[in-house]
Structure 1
Amino acid sequence: MLTLLLGVDSVPDWSYQTLFKPVLSRLPSRAARGFTLGAMGRISRIPGGTLLIKTLGHMEPSPLLRDRIAALPVSTPLGLSGSVDPAGVAHRALAQFGFGFVEVGPVTVRPIDSGEPILYERTSGTIVYPHEYENSGLIRSLRMLDETGDALPRFVRLSPEPGSSPDQSFEQLRLLAEAFSLTRAAGFYIEIWSADRGLEDNLAQLERFSAFVRGGLSRPAPQLFFLYLPLDFPDAQLTELLPAIDRGLWSGCVIGGALRERGEAVRYGTDGQDAALPKIKRIRERFPQGSWLIQSAAGIHEPQDAVDALRAGADQLLLNSGLVQSGPGLPKRINEAIIHERLSGQPIPESPSFWKHWGWMCLLGLGMIVGGIVAWLIAESSVLLPYDEDYLGMTRDEVGRINEHLLHFMSHDRITLAGTMISIGVLYYRLGKYGMQNGRHWARTAVLTSGVVGFPSFFLYLGYGFFDPLHAAAAAILLPMFLLAMRRNPDRPLREPVNLRNSRQWRLGLWGQLCFVALGVALCAGGLVIAGVGVTHVFVPQDLAFMGATPEQLEAANPRLIPLIAHDRAGFGGALFSDAVMLLILALWGIQQGQRWLWWTLLAGGSPAFVAGLSVHFSIGYRDFIHLLPAYFAAALYVAGLILLYPYLMRDVHLPNEATEKSMTVT
Structure 2
Amino acid sequence: MPDWSYQTLFRPLLFRLPARVARGLTLRAMGTVSRMPGGTLLIKALGHMEPAPLLATTFAGIRLATPVGLSGAVDPEHLATRALAQLGFGFVEAGPITPRPIRHAAPIRLDVEEEAIVYPSAYENEGAEAALRRMRAPDHALPQFARLAPSPDADRVQAIEELGALLDMFGGEHSVAALVIEGVSAARSRDDNVHMASRLTAYLTGPNRSKPCLLYVPLDFPDEWLTELLQTADSSVWSGFVIGDAIGGKEGATVGRDGKSACLAKVALVRSQAAGSPALLASAGVHAPVDALELMDAGADYVLLHGGFVFAGPGLPKRVNEVVQHRKLAELPGGEADPPFWRNWGWMCLLGIGMIIGGLIAWHIATSTVLLSYDEDFLGMTGSEVSAIAPHLLHFMSHDRITLAGTMISIGILYYRLAKHGLRHGLHWAKTAVLVSGAVGFPSFFLYLGYGFFDPLHAAAAAILLPMFLLSMRRNPDRPYRDPVNLRNDKTWKRSLWGQLCFIVVGISLCVGGIVIATVGVTNVFVPQDLRYLGLTRETLDLANPRLVPLIAHDRAGFGGALLADAVMILILALWGLQQGARWLWWTLLAGGAPGFLAGLGIHLSIGYTDFVHLLPAYFVFALYVAGLILLYPYLMKSEDAAVPLADEGEMPVQRGEVPVGRKLD
Would you say the 8 A contact 2:233–2:274 is kept in 1?
A: no
Matches of 2:494 and 2:242, distance apart in 1: 32
Question: Distance in 2 between the 1:473 and 1:304 partners?
Answer: 53
Residue among 68, 78, 94 paired with 2:68: 78
Deviation at 1:216, TM superposition (A): 7.0
1:432 maps to which of 394, 419, 422:
419
Q: What's 1:8 paired with?
A: none
Cross-structure match for 2:192 = 201
Q: What's the counterpart of residue 247 of structure 2? A: 259
Q: Deviations over 1:444-501 (max 9, x none)?
A: 0000000001000022113322110000000000000000000021111111111000
1:3 corresponds to: none
* 2:203 counterpart residue number: 212
| DSSP 3-state at the match of 1:458 | helix
Q: Give ranges in structure 2 of 5+ residues lacking alignment.
A: 644-666
**Partner letter of residue 29 of structure 1?**
A
* CA–CA separation in structure 2 for the residues paired with 1:490 and 1:286: 44
Q: Which one-letter code corresponds to 1:322 in the other structure?
A: G
1:659 is matched with which residue? none
Instruction: Give the corresponding residue for 2:328.
Output: 342
Residue 384 of structure 2 corresponds to which residue in structure 1?
A: 397
Letter in 2 for 1:209: L
The Cα of 1:147 is off from its aligned counterpart by: 2.5
How far apart, CA to CA, are the structure 2 residues paired with 1:537 and 1:130?
Answer: 63
Partners of 1:301 and 1:325 within 8 A in 2: yes
The Cα of 1:404 is off from its aligned counterpart by 0.6
Q: Give the 3-state SS of the residue equivalent to 1:538 in structure 2.
A: coil
Tell me if the contact between 2:219 and 2:247 (Cα under 8 Å) persists in the aligned partners.
yes
The superposition leaves residues 272-304 of structure 1 with CA deviations (integer Å, 9 ceiling, x where unpaired) of 11101011111111247x721110111100000
Quote how far apart the aligned CAs of 1:194 are.
Answer: 1.2
For the residue of structure 1 that corresponds to 2:85, the secondary structure is helix
Residue 149 of structure 1 and its aligned partner are, at CA, apart by 0.7
Amino acid at match of 2:181: I
State the shift of 1:396 in Å: 1.0
- Cα RMSD (Å): 1.2
Report the more deviating stretch, 311-320 or 459-468.
Answer: 459-468
Shift of 1:201: 2.1
Equivalent residue in structure 1 for 2:18, among 28, 43, 46: 28
Is 1:120 matched with 2:110?
yes
Give the counterpart of 2:279 among 276, 290, 293: 293
Instruction: Please tell me whether residue 542 in structure 1 is matched to residue 537 in structure 2.
Output: no
Is 2:259 the partner of 1:272?
A: yes
C-alpha deviations, 1:81-113, integer Å up to 9, x for none? 111111111111100000111110000111100
Structure 1 CA distance for aligned equivalents of residues 564 and 556 of structure 2: 12
How do residues 60-99 of structure 1 correspond to structure 2 at under 5 angstroms? 60-99=50-89
2:433 pairs with 1:446 = yes
SS class of match (1:120): strand
CA contact (8 A) 2:283 2:306 kept: yes
Equivalent residues in 2 for 1:37-56 (5 A)? 37-56=27-46
Distance 2:320 2:346 in 1: 32
Question: Which of 185, 192, 208 pairs up with 2:183?
Answer: 192
Which position in structure 1 is the counterpart of 2:161?
171
Matching of residue 573 in structure 1 with residue 537 in structure 2 = no
Q: CA shift at 1:349, angstroms?
A: 2.0
Partner residue of 1:246 out of 212, 219, 234:
234
Identity of aligned residues (%): 61
**SS of equivalent residue, structure 1 residue 344:** helix
Please state how far the C-alpha of 1:215 moved relative to its aligned partner.
4.7
In the alignment, the residues of structure 1 paired with residue 349 and residue 592 of structure 2 have an alpha-carbon distance, to the nearest angstrom, of 14
Amino acid across the alignment from 2:239: S
Distance 1:639 1:607 in 2: 10
Letter in 2 for 1:186: A
Which deviations, in whole Å up to 9, do the C-alpha atoms of 1:597-646 show, x marking residues without a partner?
00000000000000000000011010100010000001000000000000
Q: Does the 8 Å CA contact 1:362/1:432 hold for their aligned counterparts?
A: yes
- AA at the equivalent of 2:460: A
The alpha-carbon deviation at position 163 of structure 1 amounts to: 1.8
TM-score between the two structures when normalised by the length of structure 1:
0.95
Is there any run of 5+ residues in structure 1 with no aligned partner, and where?
1-10, 657-667
Q: TM-score, normalised by structure 2?
A: 0.95
- Aligned mates of 1:259, 1:454 — CA distance in 2: 57
1:310 matched residue in structure 2? 296
Shift of 1:209: 1.2
Question: CA separation in 1, counterparts of 2:189 and 2:571?
Answer: 59
Which runs of structure 2 are paired with 1:363-382 in the superposition (5 Å)? 363-382=350-369
The 2-side partners of 1:412 and 1:154 are apart by: 60
Say if 2:172 and 2:210, in contact at 8 Å, map to a contact too. Answer: no
Aligned to 1:624: 611
Tell me which of 559, 562, 585 is aligned to 2:546.
Answer: 559
Deviation at 1:655, TM superposition (A): 6.4
How far does residue 72 in structure 1 lie from its aligned partner after superposition?
1.2
Q: Does 1:146 align with 2:132?
A: no
Distance 1:204 1:298 in 2: 27
Matched residues in 1 for 2:439 and 2:200: separation? 61
Residue 593 of structure 1 and its aligned partner are, at CA, apart by 0.5
Query: Would the aligned equivalents of 1:383 and 1:410 in 2 still touch at CA under 8 Å?
Result: yes
- Aligned-pair CA distance for 1:559: 0.4
Aligned-partner Cα distance in 1 for 2:555–2:157: 83
Q: Residue 125 of structure 2 corresponds to which residue in structure 1?
A: 135
Question: How far apart are 1:197 and its partner, in Å?
Answer: 2.7
Residue 484 (str. 1) matches residue 471 (str. 2) = yes
Secondary structure of 1:459's aligned partner: helix
Q: State how far apart, in whole Å, the 1-side matches of 2:67 and 2:22 are.
A: 29
- Counterpart in the other structure of 1:662: none
Deviations 1:341-395 (A, max 9, x none): 1111431321111111110000000000000000000000000000000000111
Alpha-carbon distance in structure 2 between the residues aligned to 1:108 and 1:655: 44
CA distance, structure 2, for counterparts of residue 428 and residue 310 of structure 1: 39
Q: Does structure 1 retain, via aligned residues, the 8 Å contact 2:450–2:523? A: no
Cα offset, 1:401, TM superposition = 0.6
Q: Distance in 2 between matches of 1:329 and 1:399?
A: 56
- Partner residue, 1:5: none
Shift of 1:325: 0.5
Q: Is the 8 A contact 2:239 2:279 kept in 1?
A: yes
Distance across 1 between alignment mates of 2:379 and 2:586: 44
Q: Distance in 1 between matches of 2:79 and 2:452?
A: 56
- Separation in 1 of the partners of 2:447 and 2:110? 55
Amino acid at match of 1:623: T
Native 8 Å contact 1:87 1:144 kept in 2:
no
Residues 88 and 148, structure 1, Cα contact 8 Å, conserved in 2:
no
Name the CA distance, whole Å, in 2 between partners of 1:332 and 1:377: 46
Rounded to whole Å, the distance in 1 between the matches of 2:249 and 2:405 is 65
Looking at structure 2, the residues matched to 245 and 239 of structure 1 have their Cα atoms a distance apart, in angstroms, of 10
Corresponding residue for 2:48? 58
Corresponding residue for residue 338 of structure 2:
351
Secondary structure of 2:118's match?
strand
Q: Does 1:511 align with 2:512?
A: no
SS in 2 for 1:26: coil
Deviations 1:18-48, CA, capped at 9 Å, x for gaps: 0000011101111111111111111111111
Contact 1:520/1:580 (8 A) holds in 2:
yes
**Counterpart-to-counterpart distance in 1, 2:210 and 2:509:** 53
Q: CA deviation at 1:236?
A: 1.0
Q: Secondary structure of 1:226's partner?
A: strand
One-letter code aligned to 2:200? F
Aligned with 2:95: secondary structure?
strand
Report the equivalent of 2:222.
Answer: 234
Q: In structure 2, give the amino acid aligned to 1:34.
A: G
